[in-house]
Chains A and B, each alone.
Chain A
C-alpha cells in the first residue's frame, strides 16, 4: 500500500514539474475565454451553449498529458523495474490513473468554476456541470492512461490518441451535455454508469497494452 501511494505521489510530482498539470488547465480556460469572442456577447446564447463547450474542452484537454504518461517511464526503465518487483501491469496502470485523477481531474474541476464565470453560465447550471464533470473525469483519466499505453513509442502518437479518444468519449459527451438540460436526473445516472464502466475497464486495457509493448 505504501509503495502504491509512493507511485501515485510520483505521478502527481511528475505532472506538477512536467507541465501535465498546467497545460490542460490553461487549454481549458483558453477555450472558455475564446468562446464568447466567437458567439458575441449574447448572454442567453452563452448560457445555453457554454456548458457544452466546457464539456468538449474537458474531453480534448484529456489528450494533452498523454505523451508524458507512459513513454518516458518505458524508456527510462521505470516500468521494467516495477515489473521486476512483482507489480502487475494493471496495478501500475491503476496507480497512474489515480495520479491522473489528482493531477488532472481535480485541477480541471477547479478551473471549471473560473471557466463558467468567463462564459457567464447561470449559477444553477454550474452545480450540474461540476457534478457531471466530477463523474466523467475519472473515466477521462483512465482513458488518457489507456491511450498513452496503447500509443507509447508510436510515431504520431498524439494524432492517433485523438482518433482513439473521440469514439469512446461520445457516450460521456452525450450524457454529460444531456445532464445540462432542464431535468438532469436520467442523463446524470447514465453518465455515472458509463463513466464507472470506462473507469473500471481502463486499468485492464492499459495493463494489457503495457504488457504487450514490453520487449
Chain B
C-alpha cells in the first residue's frame, strides 16, 4: 500500500464499454487524468454516470476496454454506508479505522463539512443534506488519492456546496484526482468536463 501512495495517482480509462441488463450503458469512453485533475461528468438521469464511478471503484467490470487507477480510491454514492443507530462520530470512526486514518483527520473532515454540532447525534436522525455531508466527510477522512463523488451536491444548501467546492479544490491541489458526477454544470474550474448522452457516449 505504501508504495502505491508514494507514486502519483493517475487514472486511465481506455475505450471502455459496459453492457448492463442487455443495455449498452457506456460506449467508447476514454479519459486520462493525472494528479491534480478534477473531472466533471455530466449527463441526464440514467446516462451511465454512476456506472462509470462504480467501474473506477472496481465494483463493476468492463465489457470492453480497460480501466487503470493508480492510488487509493474513495467512493461517496447514494448509499450512505453509515450505521443508522450509532452517532455520526462513531459511524465515521468505523471507516476511519478501516482506512487507518488518524483522529485528527477525522476531526478535520468533520469540521470541513460543518458536522461538529451533529457529531453526537445518531445517523438515523440526519436530514438528506446532512447525510450527504456525512458521506462526504467519510471520503475526506480517508485521505484517498482518487475521490469518486456521485451527485455530491444533491440536497446540499448553498453554504455546504461552497464547502464541498473548497474540499474538492483542496484535494486536487494536494495532488489528488476528483471525479464528480452531477447533472448540473461545474461550479469550479475543472480540468476535464465530460458530457454523456443518453446512450453513454461522450458528446
B179 at the A/B interface (Cβ < 8 Å)?
Answer: no
Q: Which residue of chain B has its CB nearest to the CB of A78?
A: B81
Q: Which residues of A contact B (CB under 8 A)?
A: 2-3, 6-7, 10, 14, 17, 75-78, 80-85, 214-215
Q: Are B85 and A17 in contact (CB under 8 A)?
A: yes
How many whole Å from A152's CB to the nearest CB in chain B?
14
Interface of chain A, main secondary structure? helix
Query: Assuming the A-B contacts A10-B94, A85-B99, are A80 and B75 also in contact, with contact meaning beta carbons closer than 8 angstroms in the complex?
Result: yes
29 pairs from A and B in contact (CB 8 Å cutoff): A2-B97, A2-B100, A3-B98, A3-B100, A6-B98, A7-B98, A17-B85, A76-B80, A76-B81, A76-B82, A76-B84, A77-B77, A77-B79, A77-B81, A80-B75, A80-B77, A80-B81, A81-B75, A82-B98, A83-B58, A84-B58, A84-B59, A84-B73, A84-B74, A84-B75, A85-B98, A85-B99, A214-B59, A215-B60
Q: Which residues of B contact A (CB under 8 A)?
A: 20, 57-60, 73-75, 77-85, 94-95, 97-100
Chain A residues near B73 (CB-CB < 8 A): 84
How many whole Å from B114's CB to the nearest CB in chain A?
23
In Å, the complex CA distance between A83 and B79 comes to 14
How many whole Å from A15's CB to the nearest CB in chain B?
12
Q: Which residue of chain B has its CB nearest to the CB of A7?
A: B98
Q: Are B58 and A6 in contact (CB under 8 A)?
A: no
- Between A75, A80, A83, the greatest number of chain B beta carbons within 10 A of the residue's beta carbon is seen for A80
Q: Which residue of chain B has its CB nearest to the CB of A17?
A: B85
Q: Are A76 and B79 in contact (CB under 8 A)?
A: yes
Q: Which residue of chain A has its CB nearest to the CB of B73?
A: A84
Q: Which residue of chain B has its CB nearest to the CB of A2?
A: B97
Choose from B80, B85, B99 the contact partner of A77 (Cβ within 8 Å): B80
In Å, the complex CA distance between A215 and B51 comes to 9
Chain B residues near A77 (CB-CB < 8 A): 77-81
Q: Are A14 and B83 in contact (CB under 8 A)?
A: yes
Q: Which residue of chain A has its CB nearest to the CB of B79?
A: A77
In Å, the complex CA distance between A83 and B84 comes to 20
Q: Which residue of chain B has its CB nearest to the CB of A81?
A: B81
In Å, the complex CA distance between A68 and B20 comes to 28
Q: Are B79 and A75 in contact (CB under 8 A)?
A: yes
Chain B residues near A75 (CB-CB < 8 A): 79
In Å, the complex CA distance between A76 and B60 comes to 17
Q: Are B80 and A84 in contact (CB under 8 A)?
A: no
